[in-house]
Amino acid sequence: MNRDHLDIAAPDRDPGRPDALPRRVIRLLLRGPAMLESPAARVAASLLTIAGAGLLVWSGVIHLQLWGDGYRDISVIGPLFLAQGMGSIGLALALVLFRWLVLMAAGAVTLAATAVGLLLSVYAGLFGYKETLLVPYAETSLWVEFSGAAVLLAAAVLLVATPVRAAQAGGRPLPRPAGSPLPDRCTALPKSAIGWRRWHPCHS
């Protein structure tokens, strides 16, 4: 029997080898509170995420209301207000549903960029438009956006700094005690594979 040919059925990836960098980055970006080892950290991260999502919605509603009150007629600024309002609400819904680290970072950046944009329009002008903090919702918007960015940043830091559950780590398997026998690949085969077990190299 040709053992070299039959060995192609074995996995070609060493389970003890660390994941590649892209895989680790993706796993980190998709980390959520449910993956954390500490129950207190899971609750805290979830509450911070929900609070940040609420502030995202608040910011979006403010911009949609201002867009409807006349900002829609301002070149560039009007479409930006509409995009910010709809995007913030959509991002907040995604945050509540998935609670991924990448969404927390996106929400924090969105809120911080919105607040910075308002300050730029007040003190330097933005796209040819100069704003004032005396208009309705200006100061409220700043408070909501800086607070929301801080809350989502705190949630993201908590996700990164807190150890994850062993089952979610995705790294190397636990070390085998010295002197313990290697697992028998044949006895580990599922019952549904009985039909071809006799053709496996270790049964030849």
Q: How far apart are CA 49 and CA 152, in angstroms?
A: 6
Dihedral of the alpha carbons of 127, 129, 132, 138, in degrees to the nearest 10: -60
pTM: 0.74
The CA distance from 44 to 160, in Å, is 13
Q: Is 204's pLDDT higher than 90?
A: no
If 0-12 CB within 10 Å is exposed, 13-18 middle and 19+ buried, where does residue 82 land? Answer: middle
Q: Taking 50 as the threshold, does the pLDDT of residue 2 lie above it? A: no
- Give the 3-state DSSP-derived string for the chain, with helices as H, strands as E and coil as C: CCHHHHHHHCCCCCCCCCCCHHHHHHHHHCCCHHHECCHHHHHHHHHHHHHHHHHHHHHHHHHHHHHHCCHHHCCCHHHHHHHHHHHHHHHHHHHHHHCCHHHHHHHHHHHHHHHHHHHHHHHCCECCECCCCCCCCHHHHHHHHHHHHHHHHHHHHHHHHCCECHHHHCCCCCCCCCCCCCCCCCCCCCHHHHHHHCCCHHHC
Q: Are 81 and 64 in contact (CB under 8 A)?
A: yes
- pLDDT, tens digit, 9 for 90 and up, residues 168-185: 655 444 455 555 554 554
pLDDT at 145: 98
Confidence at residue 136, expressed as pLDDT on a 0 to 100 scale: 86
Instruction: Give the model's pLDDT for residue 166.
Output: 78
pLDDT in tens, 65-75: 999 999 999 99
**pLDDT at 15 > cutoff 90:** no
What average pLDDT does this structure show over 44-54?
98
